[in-house]
Amino acid sequence: MNRKLIILLFLLHAVGVLGMLSPWQSLFLWLTPFHLMLSLGAILLAQEKWSLSLWRWIILVGIAGYGVEVLGVKTGQVFGTYWYGATLGPHLFEVPPIIGVNWIMLSLASAAVVSLISKNKWFSSIAAAALMVGLDSIIEPVAIQLDFWSWEGNHIPLQNFIAWFVVALVFQLILHSITKGIKNIVAIWLFVFQLAFFTLLNLLL
């Protein structure tokens, strides 16, 4: 099962890169929300240990991740002044709800990567949050170019990365209070594919 899911994620990201560079880019951009849902579904299917607390955490991250984005867009006081474009799908309160899926996906994937080297709550949480910020820094230029979101003055403020780290750290600390790390090989590969996907698009777009 895991091998098939890893192959599926590889194909999704490989075809995605080709699609973004093709004359059919607009079609592939329209498919972005489905890509995110499939990616999250793959890592949830691969999760080895489940508990009611983990399900609650997933729901919490989805709702809170979306909520903090709404607060951020409405006030400009969380991440800076930004707004969402059309690529991530329909908006509710000026934010696409699919962004909650993205928070869950990246939080689980980052936790799974860090679990390879440590089970310590604080080290793992800080390292996973740092990985999320690092990946976000690679995503940002592509996201702006492909109308995921836009920044005031086309400038990404330092505040964005600080806020990302703080929010991600809170999510990771809660996760490590209910489980001693995430054991999920598919989530690890998803992080690798996301990193490769956005790095390639940064170079080729």
The amino acid that residue 71 corresponds to is L
- Whether the pLDDT of residue 181 is over 90: the answer is no
- Tell me the HSE value of 106 on the side-chain side, using a 13 A CA sphere: 24
pLDDT level of residue 190 (50, 70, 90 thresholds): very high
Place of tokens 């679990």: 115
Query: Residue 105 has what pLDDT?
Result: 97
Check if the beta carbon of residue 175 is closer than 8 Å to that of residue 111.
Answer: yes
Max Cα distance, the chain (Å)? 47
pLDDT at 48: 84
- Token pair of 159, please? 């505040």
pLDDT in tens, 85-121: 999 999 999 999 999 999 999 999 999 999 999 989 9
**pTM for the full model?**
0.96
Residue type, 100: G
Write out pLDDT tens, residues 17-69. 999 999 999 999 999 999 999 999 999 999 988 999 999 999 999 999 999 99
Residue 180: pLDDT band with limits 50, 70, 90? confident
